[in-house]
Amino acid sequence: MHPSYIMLDMANMTKTDITMHPSYITLDMANMTKTDITMPPSYIMLDMANMTETDITMHPSYIMLDMENMTKTDITMHPSYIMLDMANMTKTDIIMHPSYITLHMANMTKTDITLHTSYIMLDMANMTKTDITMHPSYITLDMANMTKADITMHPSYITLDMANMTKADITMHPSYITLDMANMTKADITLHNSYIMLDMANMTKTDITMHPSYITLGMANMTKTDINLHTSYIMLDMANMTKTDITMHPSYNTLDMANMTKTDITMHPSYIMLDMANMTKTDITMHPSYIMLYMANMTTADITMHPSYITLDMANMTKADITMHPSYITLDMANMTKTDITMHPSYIMLDMAKMTKTDITMHPSYITLHMANMTKTDITMHPSYIMLDMANMTKTDIAVNPSYIMLDMANMTKTDITLHTSYIMLDMENMTKTISQCTHHISRWIWQI
């Protein structure tokens, strides 16, 4: 990206290609502000080279071209505008932003939109706290960590499902039991007269004997563990489960793990249910087995960034290696500013993934690593250092910079180097010093005479 480098790289390029060259931008933008620089047509092409069409429309520079004939109101709703307005907002605030709703709901039905997390804020403005908890949209927020079965038992859920039911049907509804059985234990609820009638209405005599409630009567003298392992119990509980869910069932463990080693058993997806009974939610997410469940639909890149993954991958790593681990960034940078994060040793690995070896050596973060064992003098001569040191220098000053000489003279002969404008400045530094010393000695000699 160095100004001098442009001459070597552009030898076989057309005038048009030269103006689009990354290096060319530096020369053309010398007197431009940082904001103006990001707005030139050439800059857009350079910055958007590896971007998708969607990402390009979100680019800060792109916004100016697209919004020329738009009203102020339309501009604030523009996809690109969101990036500017949300710069200092948290991820949560961003998804609640009025403009954000437009983007996220583009392909949603009217029904889905009313259930959108952001939409809830607009619709509930004049509602009481009680009404809000009964709102159709509210269910989505409250039930995020609930199972499908628990959701159907949710107080709010009852309103939606019973809208077209008669009073008699409502009293037989699974959710209705919650209201009537407030002070009953879970076991007592499954034995409730209404509960049995409702659940067994369309069952055969054989199916009824397999019913959860029915098991309680026949298993009066059995322990909870034995009941869970009961042949009938397995069939009953797994009736509406997928093959994957069945393998996760506590009872299923016994059959599948018969020939497995103790180590393999602890890593088994099903085993997780038994082992995590007394663990906190945080501990569960860090459990070796939990990773298998949580990462099923994750890309390999996302998996390596997962907090839990760090534990497995860093088992045999030194403390230094751990801090350089891609996953470690998430934990270590939680309270860091955006600037500090980009300078973080670990960040280099992520940021430079698609960079060439040359670009990496010029990366601001790279300086920290590469110069760790260098003297102050060597650092000022480092190719990367030039970018930092010359930020506020004029073009002329840059040309005579000690560091600049090394880059500019790479392909010059020794004779040409000695004739180089910059070289003269260096060569005369010691000449002036020598002449000064001679003058001093001559004056001293004359004085003595």
Assessment of whether the complete model's pTM goes beyond 0.75: no
Q: CA 435 to CA 140: how far, in whole Å?
A: 84
Kindly tell me if the per-residue pLDDT of 278 is higher than 50. Answer: yes
What pLDDT, in 10s, does the model give residues 299-354?
666 655 555 555 545 455 666 665 555 555 555 555 566 666 565 655 555 555 55
Kindly tell me if the per-residue pLDDT of 416 is higher than 60. Answer: yes
Kindly tell me if the per-residue pLDDT of 443 is higher than 60. Answer: yes
Which of 322, 291, 287 lies closest to 306 in space, CA to CA? Answer: 291
Three-class secondary structure of residue 425 per DSSP: helix
What pLDDT, in 10s, does the model give residues 17-28?
655 555 555 545
Buried b (16+ CB within 10 A) or exposed e, 262-294: eeebeebbbbbbebbeeeeeeebbebebbbeeb
Confidence of residue 236 (pLDDT cuts 50, 70, 90): very low
pLDDT of res. 6: 44
The DSSP code for 37 is H
Q: CA 253 to CA 189: how far, in whole Å?
A: 28
Confidence of residue 47 (pLDDT cuts 50, 70, 90): low
Over the chain, what is the mean pLDDT?
56
What pLDDT, in 10s, does the model give residues 211-232?
555 555 454 556 656 655 555 5
- Token representation of residue 131: 């009404």
Phi, psi of 206 (to 5 degrees): -65, -45
Non-local (6+) Cβ contacts of 245 within 8 A are 238
pLDDT of res. 264: 60
Q: CA 293 to CA 447: how far, in whole Å?
A: 93
pLDDT of res. 1: 36
